[in-house]
Structure 1
Amino acid sequence: MDEQERTRVGARLLEDAQGLGLSLDRRQTDALVEYLAQLSRWNRTYNLTAIREVEAMRVQHILDCLAIVPLLRQLLPAQATLLDVGSGGGLPGVVLAVMEPGWVVTCVDAVEKKMAFVRQVSGVLRLPNLKAQHARVETLAIEPVDVVISRAFASLDDFAALAGRHVREDGTLAAMKGREPGDEITALLAHGEWRVAAIHPLLVPGLDAQRCLLLMERTHAGA
């Protein structure tokens, strides 16, 4: 992106973030614009995402991930740990790390080139709270975290089975989905270990599609 396009993208991000109840400072705006530039540049060679146009990336990737920030802020303290499973090019992990410097965000993906990209982004954006691990989630060795989150990673049941062990005893599994996945919720509940604590519809500016965030907790949580 040239400087003119960066300015346009930054202005649109500021405006749409306000519609999500978010106020972006200069550091956050510049970081998100640079992330888009890096994603666009790397995508030409490494196919990090099927979306090619910067404006489409801005809406379908950045705004989609920004939409969950107010909900996670209600759930988490200023200092927290998060694991982004099946992160791909760092979504939503990079966006969360930009928005909350006190959140330590670890992105994990089975594709090494995608984690190489996230490590590059961590350096370019100067995000010491953003980490990347090349691994399959079922073999990952990591201390339990406050929230394990996924974006279009797997069914709720598979997500819980593969990633649930990485959640602290009183922590949360968070799944970004399209429309409310009734069949997946039924399958999850049938196993009895996890339950859906809340389903939050998401209104993403410029995106004509249903989106929601599901928050899950262990069935014995708080018992």
Structure 2
Amino acid sequence: MELLIAGASRLDLELNPGQISCFQAYYEELADWNSRINLTAITDYHDVQVKHFLDSLTVVLALPKPLPADFKLIDVGSGGGFPGLPIKIMFSQIELVLLESTNKKADFLRHMVQRLGLERVKVVTGRAEETAHLPDYREQFYMAVARGLAEMAALAELTLPFCRVGGRLIAQKKGDIAAELSVAVKAVKILGGGTIEAKSIEIPEFTDSRCLVIVEKVEETPPQYPRRPGIPAKRPL
């Protein structure tokens, strides 16, 4: 895990032996399960350290300091557990929900939670468009995170309803996203979000352009959002 350790140090994170063991076990389970179900196209040991684990940990650049004692985070469209599980490995005190619509991927996430002995983690199988209307999840989180979920306008509709007022959405993005963010301004405002901020990730382990898109939740999301499954992506606000 040398690449992860070095990259994490650039984020002012120091991995202890227990955390290193967790990441090693995570890699081994990911590689094993990926031979049976499609979790990721990235399977090389070094690539997983950088493109999955370290990439997930860049979210710490948007975390409040210090973390509130009752900090709750939801990872929307978690897939193989990124970025939620690496964040949980580093910050064991947070309460984490992993939302994943695919049953087999959700099974993997439950296996990983048990395998790593993580507490205060719940795996929910469901669509964001439906789960965000349930009282246990609607506007209950300090932070919603998403990686590669959708274009920003649709992503905002799938994530902002989970954030409490005063919380924030963190979307991990790559490449030139200026036009995408410009289009999303209207949707973000409708959904209760404030100004969109793009924070560049500038560490040498990444050879491409990456950023965190940060949106503060300033008002409650109107009750009709998110719309029915599939509609946010087909007809963005």
TM-score range, shorter chain: 0.7 to 0.9
Map of 2:232 onto structure 1 = none
CA-to-aligned-CA distance 1:140-167 (integer Å, 9 cap, x gap): 1333211111001011211121222111
Q: RMSD of the TM alignment (CA)?
A: 1.9
Is the alpha carbon distance of 1:145 and 1:173 closer, same or farther for their aligned partners in structure 2, counting shifts above 3 Å? same
Q: Is this contact kept in 2: 1:17–1:66, CA < 8 A?
A: yes
CA distance, structure 2, for counterparts of residue 36 and residue 185 of structure 1? 33
Report the residue type matching 2:166 in the other structure. D
Map of 1:148 onto structure 2 = 144
CA distance, structure 1, for counterparts of residue 56 and residue 205 of structure 2? 13
Q: CA deviation at 1:218?
A: 3.4
Is the alpha carbon distance of 1:20 and 1:185 closer, same or farther for their aligned partners in structure 2, counting shifts above 3 Å? same
Q: Which runs of 4+ in 1 moved over 6 A?
A: none
Structure 2 unaligned runs (5+)? 221-237
Q: Percent identity?
A: 28
Map of 2:5 onto structure 1 = 14
Mapping for residues 1-223 of structure 1, pairs under 5 Å: 9=1, 11-74=2-65, 76-140=67-131, 141=134, 142-143=136-137, 144-191=140-187, 192-193=189-190, 194-220=193-219
CA distance, structure 1, for counterparts of residue 205 and residue 45 of structure 2? 14
Report the residue type matching 1:147 in the other structure. M
CA distance, structure 2, for counterparts of residue 127 and residue 36 of structure 1? 16
Is the alpha carbon distance of 1:218 and 1:71 closer, same or farther for their aligned partners in structure 2, counting shifts above 3 Å? closer
Is the alpha carbon distance of 1:201 and 1:86 closer, same or farther for their aligned partners in structure 2, counting shifts above 3 Å? same
Q: Is this contact kept in 1: 2:174–2:211, CA < 8 A?
A: yes
CA distance, structure 1, for counterparts of residue 8 and residue 170 of structure 2? 21
CA distance, structure 2, for counterparts of residue 204 and residue 91 of structure 1? 19
SS at match of 2:15: coil
Is the alpha carbon distance of 1:161 and 1:40 closer, same or farther for their aligned partners in structure 2, counting shifts above 3 Å? same
CA-to-aligned-CA distance 1:27-67 (integer Å, 9 cap, x gap): 11111111111111111111100112121111110011112
Higher helix share: 1
Q: CA deviation at 1:196?
A: 3.2
Q: Is this contact kept in 2: 1:188–1:195, CA < 8 A?
A: no
CA distance, structure 2, for counterparts of residue 22 and residue 178 of structure 1? 22
Q: TM (normalized to structure 2)? A: 0.83
SS at match of 2:63: helix
Is the alpha carbon distance of 1:78 and 1:180 closer, same or farther for their aligned partners in structure 2, counting shifts above 3 Å? farther
SS at match of 1:102: coil
Q: CA deviation at 1:180?
A: 4.8
SS at match of 1:172: strand
Is the alpha carbon distance of 1:151 and 1:204 closer, same or farther for their aligned partners in structure 2, counting shifts above 3 Å? farther
More deviation, 200-209/157-166 = 200-209
Q: CA deviation at 1:68?
A: 1.9
CA distance, structure 2, for counterparts of residue 75 and residue 84 of structure 1? 20
Q: TM (normalized to structure 1)? A: 0.87
CA distance, structure 1, for counterparts of residue 169 and residue 94 of structure 2? 16
